[in-house]
Structure 1
Amino acid sequence: MTEAWNMTKTELKLFLRDPMAVFFTLLFPLMMLFLFGSIFGNEPDPDLGGRGSVDVSVPGYIAIIIGTNAIMGLPINLATYRAGGVLRRFRATPLRPSVVLGAQVAVGLVFAAVSSALLVVAGRIFFGLRLPEDPAVVLGAILLSAASIFAFGFILASVLPNARTAQSVAMVVFFPMMFLSGAALPRPLLSETIQDVARALPLTHVVTLVDDAWSGAGLNLAAMLVLVGVLAAGVAISTRLFRWE
């Protein structure tokens, strides 16, 4: 337990020293909230099922926060460590692999939680964000989503050889997913063709699961099954492919 805590503290400090990581995790979602919230407000809109723009957007922004940490942060960090021989040196120490990799996930989850909390507080104060009736259901949806997308991120982290490659691949994977999934823009505003294509993307099902839980529709079984499948596949594939050097 002490090893895991010390490793996690070290990774937390390293995260805070990375301005790009801090920007995309903590500031970018808030910028989107204030930009689109200022433009569209949060009055009930028939095109959004009677919900406000901010009410619909916040679950999507939470999906972006999860994806930023899991699809961009995790692969880039581990690829940097792999290229620099850090993973190889860790493997030669008494530290268990689960401690090294778990610290990466823990840091991602901590900052995802902080960013999501800031987002919700700002949305409530400045735009009257409607809070979920059952926060426990929303929390469950977010935890399953995070586990699934981090497992997906581990697939990328398992094979990308260096930070430059990881950054390029992560951006190519994440940014189209962010815009097509309904995370960046409310899904009702997207064309049916885009929505059909987006069903193949894991982040789409994160948006569906979190948004349904937030709006009071409960847990979407289809989205849950897809994310459980992504989680299982991510664990199986990354366990088989992960390289320490």
Structure 2
Amino acid sequence: MKRFMTLLKIEQRLSLRCPDGLIFGIGMPVGVLLMIGLIAEQQTISQENYTFLQSAFASLITVGICATAFMGIPLTIANYRDKKILKHFFVTPMSPKLILCVQFCIGAIISILSALLVSICAIVIFHYQMEGSILYFILAYCLILVSMYSLGMIIASLCPNLKVANVVCTFVYFPMLFLSGATIPFEIFPQFIQNLAKVLPLTQGISLLKDISLGIYHQDMIYSIIYLLVMAIIGCIISLKTFQWE
């Protein structure tokens, strides 16, 4: 625990030197929420019984997770691998589990801060009220966080250098961000795009959060929960088993 806390404090300070996570993980979702709230606060989505604001809240609250999972954890670990920092860690008591857990916690702090700011803006400025259970919403958010981070840790463990990690993260991050409904309402996509996007774990996560926030509970939610759980377990196992020091 002492090694964990020491490394966590150091990584927290280092993360402040690179504002990318704060910009994309916190600034962007809050900015998009304000824009949607000012332009289309009370407008309803075609053939749906909820407004753009209600849809945007459940979606934008996951942007911080997506940003840190694919632009934070993998790039940090790959950068350390490039600079031979992991090679130095190899001859210390540090383990892949400890290194990944610390990066997980750093990303989770930014993600939770993002979710809190989006929630505060939605409630204070636009008087947003959640129809469903707040407890279930928080539990679903945590499940999505673990599931998405497990995929990010796989990329972090397998990419040999920063250049490869940048390419892989770009091809994963942007489709996940734009096709899952995180920034663009999922309902406005053509049907064939919706069918393709449902394969993405973030799509399943946002759908789950949206239903819970609207107080809509149905049997299909179980499939989303199982899907995210399986992704989380498999991702964590693969990332630990395939971690490369150099």
TM-score when scaled to structure 1? 0.93
Greater Cα shift, 154-163 or 70-79:
154-163
The CA deviation string for residues 140-195 of structure 1, in whole angstroms up to 9 with x for no partner, is: 10111111111111111111122232122212211112111111122222211111
CA contact (8 A) 2:64 2:114 kept: yes
Give 1:239 shift: 2.7
User: Is residue 190 of structure 1 aligned with residue 189 of structure 2?
Assistant: yes
- For the aligned residues, what is the CA RMSD? 1.7
User: Is residue 28 of structure 1 aligned with residue 28 of structure 2?
Assistant: yes
Distance 1:99 1:72, change over 3 A: same
The CA deviation string for residues 63-100 of structure 1, in whole angstroms up to 9 with x for no partner, is: 22111111221110100011111112112112343222
Distance 1:48 1:67, change over 3 A: farther
Residue 124 of structure 1: aligned partner? 123
CA contact (8 A) 2:12 2:106 kept: yes
User: Is residue 138 of structure 1 aligned with residue 137 of structure 2?
Assistant: yes
Structure 1 unaligned runs (5+)?
none
Aligned pairs for 1:214-229 within 5 A: 214-218=213-217, 220-229=221-230
CA contact (8 A) 1:48 1:56 kept: no
State how far apart, in whole Å, the 1-side matches of 2:53 and 2:117 are.
14
Give 1:124 shift: 1.2
Residue 235 of structure 2: aligned partner? 234
CA contact (8 A) 2:160 2:244 kept: no
Q: How many residues align?
A: 244
State how far apart, in whole Å, the 2-side matches of 1:48 and 1:92 are.
60
Which runs of 4 or more aligned residues in structure 1 lie more than 4 Å from their structure 2 counterparts after TM superposition? none
Residue 201 of structure 1: aligned partner? 200
State how far apart, in whole Å, the 1-side matches of 2:17 and 2:209 are.
30
3-state DSSP of counterpart to 2:61: helix
Distance 1:89 1:218, change over 3 A: farther
State how far apart, in whole Å, the 2-side matches of 1:57 and 1:46 are.
11
State how far apart, in whole Å, the 1-side matches of 2:99 and 2:191 are.
43
Amino acid of the residue matched to residue 74 of structure 1?
I
Residue 109 of structure 1: aligned partner? 108
Aligned pairs for 1:23-62 within 5 A: 23-41=23-41, 43=42, 45=44, 47=46, 49-62=48-61
Residue 6 of structure 1: aligned partner? 6
CA contact (8 A) 1:48 1:188 kept: no
CA contact (8 A) 1:90 1:100 kept: no
State how far apart, in whole Å, the 1-side matches of 2:163 and 2:222 are.
38
3-state DSSP of counterpart to 1:171: helix
Give 1:132 shift: 4.7
Greater Cα shift, 233-242 or 204-213:
233-242
Sequence identity percentage = 29
Give 1:131 shift: 2.6
Residue 99 of structure 1: aligned partner? 98
Residue 81 of structure 1: aligned partner? 80
CA contact (8 A) 1:59 1:210 kept: yes
Give 1:48 shift: 6.2
State how far apart, in whole Å, the 1-side matches of 2:30 and 2:52 are.
15
Give 1:46 shift: 5.5
